[in-house]
């Protein structure tokens, strides 16, 4: 460790303000907590830094996805035997926004999800949690077949002219780019499913059709967007952070995909 002193809520808040985060902002955060470095108070202190900067009129949004509650037939990392599939579908506890932990989203997302006053959308695969003034509106309408589209929290952040902050991670983690996918004329579609909790506490497997997400070109897309100068890059603690307006990002990505995913779009149009 080459830090001379621990970071604190106050020093991280100063870094966030210098980067361009302001009181009253709506910000969708993707974070690698370990990239920040040692902070006095750990995860709690980092979340508090965001809340201090955003103030009572701001809103912090994080992904609280549950990729383990997906169809086991498509699992690759690792795959599971086909004989297991029906057992997983039938026995996985149904998604419950209040009970189901996120998976692989990081400690910061989990801290926000469980913070007093946080609200969480009820999508069984790609939920988001929000904390602050617009939290309830952002998570209110998250339908199964528009997982990352207009009626998802991503669409709500867009309508609120929110920002995206990548804290110690890259555009391959930038979920807002999926909103641009959903805006393509004929994006590839897929069938998927999850276990969902009924009001009486029992679980059942549901299936639906949605846009097939593809992050394979997100890094290049993000680099091209940054080349326009539309994102501010700077330190937050020991992490490299990237901050930009989500509308500008999604609008750029929508055009970029229309141009660069021609083959995929044409295939979909003729399928």
| Residue position matching structure tokens 């801290």 | 111
Angle, alpha carbons 99-105-109 (nearest 5°): 70
Looking at every residue in the chain, the average pLDDT score rounds to 94
Taking CB atoms within 8 Å and a gap of at least 24, the contacts of 133-142 are 133/56, 133/57, 133/58, 133/59, 134/26, 134/59, 134/160, 135/59, 135/61, 138/26, 138/59, 138/61
pLDDT tens for 87-109 read 999 999 999 999 999 998 999 99
pLDDT tens for 209-236 read 999 999 999 999 999 999 999 999 999 9
Assess whether pLDDT exceeds 60 at residue 31.
Answer: yes
- For residue 4, the model assigns a pLDDT of 86
Assess whether pLDDT exceeds 80 at residue 119.
Answer: yes
pLDDT tens for 158-201 read 999 999 999 999 999 999 999 999 999 999 999 999 999 999 99
269 pLDDT band, cuts 50/70/90, is very low
pTM for the model: 0.93
- For residue 101, the model assigns a pLDDT of 93
Within 110-230, strands assigned E span: 119-120, 128-132, 163-167, 189-197, 203-211
Assess whether pLDDT exceeds 90 at residue 1.
Answer: no
Instruction: Sort 91 into a burial class: Cβ within 10 Å, 0-12 / 13-18 / 19+.
Output: exposed
Q: Are 239 and 32 in contact (CB under 8 A)?
A: yes
Assess whether pLDDT exceeds 60 at residue 267.
Answer: no
């Amino acid at each position: 460790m080459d830090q001379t002193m621990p970071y604190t809520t106050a020093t991280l808040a100063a870094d966030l303000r210098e980067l361009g985060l302001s009181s009253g902002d709506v910000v969708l955060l993707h974070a690698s907590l370990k990239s920040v470095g040692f902070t006095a108070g750990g995860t709690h202190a980092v979340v508090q830094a965001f809340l201090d900067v955003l103030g009572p009129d701001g809103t912090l949004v994080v992904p609280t996805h549950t990729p383990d509650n997906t169809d086991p037939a498509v699992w690759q990392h690792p795959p599971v035997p086909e004989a297991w599939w029906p057992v997983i579908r039938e026995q996985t506890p149904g998604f419950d926004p209040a009970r189901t932990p996120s998976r692989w989203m990081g400690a910061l997302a989990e801290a926000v999800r469980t913070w007093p006053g946080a609200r969480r959308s009820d999508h069984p695969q790609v939920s988001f949690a929000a904390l602050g003034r617009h939290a309830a509106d952002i998570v209110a309408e998250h339908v199964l077949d528009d997982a990352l589209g207009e009626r998802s929290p991503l669409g709500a952040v867009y309508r609120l002219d929110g920002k995206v902050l990548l804290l110690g991670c890259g555009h391959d983690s930038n979920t807002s780019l999926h909103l641009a996918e959903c805006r393509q004329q004929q994006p590839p579609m897929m069938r998927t499913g999850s276990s969902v909790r009924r009001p009486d506490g029992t679980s059942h497997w549901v299936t639906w059709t949605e846009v097939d997400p593809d992050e394979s070109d997100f890094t290049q897309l993000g680099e091209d967007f940054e080349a326009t100068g539309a994102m501010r890059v700077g330190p937050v603690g020991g992490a490299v952070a990237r901050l930009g307006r989500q509308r500008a990002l999604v609008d750029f990505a929508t055009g970029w995909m229309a141009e660069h995913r021609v083959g995929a779009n044409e295939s979909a149009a003729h399928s």
